[in-house]
Amino acid sequence: MYLVSACLLGLRTRFDGKKLIDSGPLIIPLNKIIPFCPEQLGGLSTPRFPAEIVNGCGEDVLEGRAHVINSKGENLTETFIRGARESLYLACLYKAEGIYLKDGSPSCGSCFIYDGTFSGRRQPGRGVTAALFRLEGIPVYNEADLFKQ
């Protein structure tokens, strides 16, 4: 089994409630996929205000050196960590072989995240859930690996 960011499968879990564009056929059969959204599992509603990691990346959040803040200035660090842990629980429950994640998200980013200024600037790094899975030794893949070319 594989966990897949729900928004990559067309579910409207994104912060703005919008559906992502269909990226084509999947490389994994649907019966081997568990859709999940760490931000919803952490307790956030949809739609919600956008959030970014301030002063670091997912690993820094897990180690208490950085925070997740939304565009209203609310500190959502604990909520994001809870969502990452719930996602890990799900992966362990199903003995998931790996996880496919939507890049850029403060939870799911695996190659890049935004820099915490809400100005659209990217920086290399992982989101909180991607960082936790990597630390736990579960293979983390990017959305580019999920769809047939």
Q: What residues line the site for ligand SF4 (CB under 6 A)?
A: 5-7, 13-14, 37-39, 102, 105, 107-108
Q: How far is the CB of 60 from ligand SF4 (least distance, A)?
A: 18
Element (H, E) at 70: strand 67-70
Q: How far is the CB of 69 from ligand SF4 (least distance, A)?
A: 15
Tokens of 107: 């939870």
Tokens of 36: 């999940």
Nearer to ligand SF4, 5 or 60 (CB): 5
Nearer to ligand SF4, 77 or 107 (CB): 107
Distance of alpha carbon 77 from alpha carbon 74, whole angstroms: 9
Distance of alpha carbon 134 from alpha carbon 140, whole angstroms: 7
Distance of alpha carbon 38 from alpha carbon 89, whole angstroms: 11
Q: How far is the CB of 37 from ligand SF4 (least distance, A)?
A: 3
Nearer to ligand SF4, 54 or 129 (CB): 129
Q: How far is the CB of 117 from ligand SF4 (least distance, A)?
A: 19
Tokens 């992982």 locate to 126
